Amino acid sequence: MCRTFIGGVRVYAGLVLTLSLALPGGAWAQRRPMPTPTPTPTATAIPGRIAGGGTLESDGLLGAHLRGARVTQAGRVAQLAGRQIEVSPGQRAPLSAITPVLFAEQDALRSQLTAARGATLGAVETHDEVYDLGDRVAVVRTTRFVVANVAVAQRGSPVLRTYFQARGAQPATITPEVRAGLAEMRAELQRAPAGHPLRAAADQGDDALLAAIARGEGELEVVDTFVLPSAALPTRNGAVLLPANSGSRYEYANMREVMRIPPVRDFTQPSMVASQMPDAVSVEVNAPRERSVTNGPAVDLTYEFVNGFTIGRAWEWERRWNYASGFFRVTFKAGLGFGVRVPIRAHVRMTPSFIRVVDSADRSDAFMTTVRFETLEADPAFYTRAGISQGQLFDGKELVVEAFAGFGYKFRALWHDWAHRPYEEVRFDYGHDFAPPYGANWESVRDIFIPAETTQTAVDLGIIRGGVQAGVQLAARGRVTATFRALVQGSRTASTYGGGSQNEWRRVFSSPTESVTWGATIPTAGNVTNTRTYGFEVGDLSYTSDWSVVPGARVFVTVGVPGFSRTFDTTVWIEQLRLELGSVTLGRHEGTRQWARDERGRKQFRNMFQPTGSEV
């Protein structure tokens, strides 16, 4: 299995990947020098590839993007190294910083084959191309080589190892179709250089040539094509817009909504889950006129908040292996809308819950409030209490994934088309429950590898088995910031915290066990019997976190017919395209509570010398 891990520049949502690995058939007749192309300084309709590139395939991804496009500039990577790509909002990076990691696998392939003496006939050649299309940039890297000794190449190159002949393949039957293909190949091989392995095999007859083709001898080309949008994916009224799919490529001028969490009801009155306490405490003013002070017990309350965000990514990947008698091509495209919802529960304790004073004169009294927060894996009832509408509960999932994915393939070997599935697209929902990270350490939220059966990208036709899986990894670490206040008679009042005194405090909470306590004084209101309210206000929460999403995909396909078989098993984790948000502050989710306010505390004073009566 070949695994590619690409790291380096941070890339934000909106970077679209098109990966195409192609090994064009009949390539020994196309071997050519690789001249340095001259950059095209002005807009021009491009009829084909720049010097050194292969034939532009009309049904390939590069051909689809170049067809009818206006190319503002074309040249080598070194010539357009300064072309800027938006890798995150407000951050741009030049191509020179991005391409080395995008082409890390080809560089490894070249170095492995170069070091394996006798693996190839002649040198391993590389060539790159860049096409600036205004709203996107296509970057192409080609590696060409001739496999002379399969055994040496297998030992020396892990990247190439899985390509070679699978065990147990049966000999091919020479049909009229195969015989015609062999005749054409023998004619082309007459122009091949001396020592070419397929030319030597052809001199020994058709059976020997077929055996050499099956082993994997001959010239191969590896072509990686990346299409990088110039800017991040846009949003409209909070919805992520992904490019429309034309069947052959994404249309960046035609954006569409994939996931939308619309505004819900205006949630102004917080719901409270609390220890029960009376709305008011009656004072029996006819009671014995004795001085007394009674403080009620502490009251514990909980409040639900939801913070969150929605982001998106789209990408295309086509990998093609072309060999002497045909090719295998697999195309995978995906558009993913991510919604991350962070349920936060506030635990508040206010003490005392009431104050009752009977005396000849009023006095100042104090109350204390303590708050701490926790993040949790919430159920639908939590989201309902927090204000999420019934239609947007998503079964209480914290990670909402609504997306589309498509898969297509074609297999041709021994000059015959054996299997073909045109590109088809389906939508799917692959959300998950998780407890949002809360603390100073990184936490892996979820590794998601979507089964091929879910995306309908699996295939089992006897001669071709396997499929394509899309994968993402979500990781984060987080902290909660909140504002807290003391209230007396419905208005903010000065409170003490950390040695200071002010009307409002804002503090960062870094763990579920961390709490703060603030105190306030209820001033006197004269010596007349009266009742005043007191309480607190907690809210305006923000969830600050470091989030990252790494896209990836795995191709796992085995193809086989009599005389020819291959295993194509490649996993690509595109670390270079890690969607890294850095320190991102997530505000209140649409439609949910912003403040938790409670004024059930009662300070009641009765002047023991006033006339009898009832005062509440």
Is the model more confident about 195 or about 171?
A: 195
Q: Which two tokens stand for residue 1?
A: 């299995």
Half-sphere exposure of 105 (CA within 13 A, CB side): 26
Q: List, for residues 19-44, the tens digit of each pLDDT value.
A: 232 333 333 333 334 444 444 433 33
Alpha-carbon distance of 124 to 109, in angstroms, equals 9
Are 208 and 197 in the same domain?
A: yes
Q: List, for residues 321-353, the tens digit of each pLDDT value.
A: 767 777 777 766 666 666 667 889 999 999 999
Rounded to an integer, the average pLDDT of 397-418 is 70
Alpha-carbon distance of 402 to 427, in angstroms, equals 7
Is the model more confident about 260 or about 10?
A: 260
Are 434 and 395 in the same domain?
A: yes
Alpha-carbon distance of 351 to 64, in angstroms, equals 69
Are 280 and 134 in the same domain?
A: no
Are 157 and 189 in the same domain?
A: no
Q: Among residues 424, 363, 434, 360, which one has the least CA distance to residue 397?
A: 434
Alpha-carbon distance of 463 to 148, in angstroms, equals 28
Alpha-carbon distance of 493 to 502, in angstroms, equals 8
Is the model more confident about 401 or about 191?
A: 191
Alpha-carbon distance of 438 to 545, in angstroms, equals 9
Q: Among residues 61, 63, 52, which one has the least CA distance to residue 18?
A: 61
Is the model more confident about 505 or about 102?
A: 505
Number of structural domains (the chain) is: 3
Are 149 and 194 in the same domain?
A: no
Are 208 and 69 in the same domain?
A: no
Last-in-domain residue among 232, 257, 279: 232
Are 152 and 191 in the same domain?
A: no
Percent of the chain with pLDDT over 90: 20
Q: Is 591 in a helix, a strand, or coil?
A: coil
Are 116 and 177 in the same domain?
A: no
Q: Report the mean per-residue pLDDT for the chain.
A: 72
320 within domain boundaries: no
pLDDT at residue 452 in the model: 61
208 within domain boundaries: yes
Alpha-carbon distance of 378 to 291, in angstroms, equals 49
8 within domain boundaries: no
pTM for this predicted structure: 0.50
Are 221 and 196 in the same domain?
A: no
Show the domain range for 198.
173-215
Alpha-carbon distance of 281 to 284, in angstroms, equals 10
Are 296 and 201 in the same domain?
A: no
133 within domain boundaries: yes
Are 227 and 204 in the same domain?
A: no
396 within domain boundaries: yes
Alpha-carbon distance of 521 to 584, in angstroms, equals 37
259 within domain boundaries: no
Q: Is the pLDDT of residue 228 over 80?
A: no
Alpha-carbon distance of 557 to 405, in angstroms, equals 18
Half-sphere exposure of 466 (CA within 13 A, CB side): 22
pLDDT at residue 516 in the model: 93
